[in-house]
């Protein structure tokens, strides 16, 4: 009896295997994305794609190679303590700050690439003023005819300043600077394009541009008729960074020769209806303003040492509204400087100094003449940026602050885990 059952089982398995081989779709392999390393052409096409991190996650791909699907997730669990000028605890934050699910790959041809990212925490899904849901962060399709250029349609990051282009999973500190928080353009829906010159180890450049709706991610529609035009130029005078070192903070790859990035960007948001262009509250009384945002970045990396500086600002001809509304467009500039050193790809120390300079006419609304924040951070890399533990401490100083009871000290701890 046992022999008969065993024979039937073997016969069934052989039949199933034969049916799978006869299937026109063949079978779908489950592989780690690291196994794509030998697919040089696909990796080269994806190298400069925004929001794609080749070498992570789990990839599904049929033998016919007509599609690939890489699934990834990551989470950031954070606790933060804020203290007043007397170092008395004033606020406690304990939360899953980010919880993301991503799907990347190609369909039909390696030239047709897609990227989808969803966010599920309250931090990721901050409510929109028009009531729309805000779960979708990225949903875009790119046509990549060659490694040198691509065009995309959908929603993704607007390529303006370096700090925003970097993934929040690749930061040296718990979060980005106060300068980035005020002036970055975040995401938008529209058309995106990139050109990446690649000529060996010498001088290199990238040009990136977009035309977007102008009201930010998941806005949906606008009756105003304005759009945002953004362009960015990146220069690599000593050649490209290793791997994706230009969008990963710190010198994790250990550049053996000095590498530099010089970049500038400008965005013109015509008839913006939100106070920060792509972000912020809606302007009162259905008003609109033309906003100009400008950015300059510098990066230097060499043998574990990294140095960054970001300068950015916003201009508006009429930043003020009816005084009763207390609404204003933040006209001004910000400067961020940070440096770090990585020891044996395990421990990293980093120091950042960030300053906001609102223009005189908006200082009464901003509540200060100048805001300076100095942050010291320590990171322990366990599996690169995929598994790391971070801690940082910040000191805030606001000159001529309207509120003398603002929090002076911040201490934060965070665990990052991603696949």
Give the residue from 30, 78, 72, 77 showing the smallest Cα distance to 51: 72
Q: What is the pTM of this model?
A: 0.85
Pick the CATH number of 64-416 from 2.40.30.10, 2.40.160.10, 3.30.1280.10, 2.30.130.10: 2.40.160.10
As beta bridge partners, residue 296 has 264, 311
Its sign, for the CA torsion 266, 267, 268, 272, is negative
- What confidence score (pLDDT) does residue 96 get? 96
Give the residue from 131, 210, 99 showing the smallest Cα distance to 165: 210
The domains of the chain are located at: 64-416
Residues recorded for the chain: 419
Print pLDDT tens along the chain (419 aa): 434 434 433 444 444 344 433 333 333 344 333 333 444 444 454 444 444 444 478 888 888 888 899 999 999 999 999 999 889 999 999 999 999 999 999 999 999 999 999 999 998 988 899 888 899 999 999 999 998 999 999 999 999 999 988 889 999 999 999 999 999 999 999 999 999 987 677 899 999 999 999 999 999 887 787 899 999 999 999 999 988 888 899 998 899 999 999 999 999 999 999 999 999 999 999 899 999 999 999 999 999 999 999 999 999 999 999 888 889 999 999 999 999 999 988 999 999 999 999 999 999 999 999 999 999 999 999 998 889 999 999 999 999 999 888 999 999 999 999 98
- What confidence score (pLDDT) does residue 307 get? 97
Q: How far is the C-alpha of 121 from the C-alpha of 290, rounded, in Å?
A: 32
- Return the structure tokens found at 153: 């349609």
| Residue owning tokens 């901050």 | 126
Q: How far is the C-alpha of 139 from the C-alpha of 331, rounded, in Å?
A: 31
44 φ, ψ (degrees, to nearest 5) = -65, -35
Q: List the Cα angle 337/338/342 in 5-degree steps.
A: 165
Residue 298, helix vs strand vs coil = strand
């Amino acid at each position: 009896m046992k022999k008969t059952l065993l024979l039937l089982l073997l016969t069934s398995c052989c039949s199933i295997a034969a049916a799978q081989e006869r299937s026109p779709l063949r079978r779908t392999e489950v592989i780690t994305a690291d196994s794509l390393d030998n697919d040089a052409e696909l990796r080269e096409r994806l190298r400069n794609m925004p929001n794609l991190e080749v070498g992570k996650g789990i990839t599904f791909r049929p033998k016919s190679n007509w599609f690939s699907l890489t699934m990834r997730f990551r989470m950031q669990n954070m606790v933060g303590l804020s203290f007043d000028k007397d170092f008395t605890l004033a606020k406690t934050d304990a939360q899953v700050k980010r919880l993301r699910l991503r799907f990347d790959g190609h369909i039909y041809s390696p030239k047709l690439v897609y990227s989808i990212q969803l966010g599920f925490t309250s931090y990721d899904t901050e409510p929109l003023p028009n009531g729309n849901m805000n779960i979708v962060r990225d949903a875009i399709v790119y046509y990549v005819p060659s490694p040198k250029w691509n065009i995309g349609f959908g929603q993704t990051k607007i390529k303006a300043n370096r700090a925003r282009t970097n993934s929040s999973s690749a930061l040296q500190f718990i979060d980005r600077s106060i300068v980035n928080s005020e002036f970055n353009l975040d995401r938008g829906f529209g058309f995106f394009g990139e050109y990446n010159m690649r000529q060996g180890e010498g001088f290199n450049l990238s040009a990136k541009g977009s035309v977007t709706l102008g009201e930010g991610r998941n806005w949906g529609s606008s009756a105003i008729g304005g759009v945002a035009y953004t362009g960015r130029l990146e220069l690599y005078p000593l050649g490209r960074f290793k791997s994706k070192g230009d969008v990963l903070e710190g010198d994790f790859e250990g550049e053996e020769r000095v590498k530099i990035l010089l970049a500038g960007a400008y965005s013109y948001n015509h008839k913006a209806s939100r106070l920060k262009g792509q972000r912020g509250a809606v302007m009162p009384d259905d008003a609109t303003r033309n906003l100009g945002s400008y950015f300059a970045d510098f990066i230097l990396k060499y043998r574990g040492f990294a140095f960054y500086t970001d300068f950015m600002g916003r201009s508006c001809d009429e930043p003020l509204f009816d005084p009763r509304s207390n609404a204003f467009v933040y006209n001004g500039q910000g400067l961020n400087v940070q440096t770090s050193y990585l020891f044996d790809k395990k421990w990293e120390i980093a120091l950042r100094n960030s300053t906001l300079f609102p223009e005189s006419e908006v200082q009464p609304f901003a509540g200060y003449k100048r805001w300076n924040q100095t942050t010291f951070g320590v990171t322990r890399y366990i599996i690169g940026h995929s598994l790391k533990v971070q801690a940082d401490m910040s000191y805030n100083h606001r000159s001529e602050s309207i509120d003398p009871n603002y929090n002076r000290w911040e201490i934060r701890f965070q665990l990052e885990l991603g696949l």
